[in-house]
């Protein structure tokens, strides 16, 4: 992990692909589950079943670098699957590219994809509470009270129709 005196990381250019589950190649699926496990289970020390039964009904946004390494991912969930509204979740960037703006690029690209897939529709998320300001910067507003999900404080947020 870089020290606080390290120079800022250089921007990482990612190639984005927005795919339905059935269009994911086996390597896409493997890389996705590996990245999500590395961050959500190992780094965040959270024991839960990541493949939760929703992936097959979702869109998947994959951000790969020029070498093909998956560094950024989120899934888009159709309206009515988890919430009445469309939603995004499993938003993750690899530790190797944190601090480069890749997280903002991931969410911005995810919003472009969701706005295209579900035009003029609100979008709901279950955000880790410490990321409230981050998501507010994309137009999300907290709705409801903070709650524990997998022993991590979360809050539901809603982005009105763009």
Q: What is the pLDDT along the chain (162 residues), one digit of tens a residue?
A: 444 444 445 567 899 999 999 999 999 999 999 999 888 776 667 766 677 889 999 999 999 999 999 999 999 999 999 999 999 999 999 999 989 999 999 999 999 999 999 999 999 999 999 999 999 999 999 998 999 987 889 999 999 987
Residue-level pLDDT at 15: 97
Q: How far apart are CA 6 and CA 1, in angstroms?
A: 10
- Per CATH, the architecture of 15-159 is what? 3-Layer(aba) Sandwich (3.40)
Length of the chain: 162
Q: How far apart are CA 154 and CA 131, in angstroms?
A: 9
Q: How far apart are CA 3 and CA 49, in angstroms?
A: 33
Stated pTM of the model: 0.88
The answer to whether 111 and 152 are in contact (CB under 8 A) is no
The answer to whether 151 and 139 are in contact (CB under 8 A) is no
Place of tokens 């529709």: 121
Domain ranges of the chain: 15-159
The answer to whether 77 and 124 are in contact (CB under 8 A) is no
The answer to whether 100 and 12 are in contact (CB under 8 A) is yes
């Amino acid at each position: 992990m870089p020290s606080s005196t390290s120079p800022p990381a250089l921007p990482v250019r990612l190639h984005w692909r927005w795919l339905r589950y059935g269009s994911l190649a086996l390597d896409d699926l493997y890389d996705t589950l590996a990245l999500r496990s590395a961050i959500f289970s190992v780094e965040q020390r959270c024991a839960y079943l990541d493949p939760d039964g929703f992936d097959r009904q979702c869109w998947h946004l994959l951000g790969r670098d020029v070498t093909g390494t998956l560094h950024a991912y989120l899934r888009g969930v159709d309206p009515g699957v988890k919430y009445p509204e469309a939603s995004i979740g499993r938003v993750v960037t690899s530790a190797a590219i944190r601090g480069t703006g890749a997280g903002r690029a991931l969410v911005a690209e995810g919003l472009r994809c969701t706005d295209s897939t579900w035009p003029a529709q609100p979008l709901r998320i279950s955000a880790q509470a410490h990321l409230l300001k981050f998501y507010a910067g994309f137009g999300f507003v907290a709705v409801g009270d903070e709650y524990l999900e997998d022993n991590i404080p979360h809050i539901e947020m809603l982005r009105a129709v763009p």
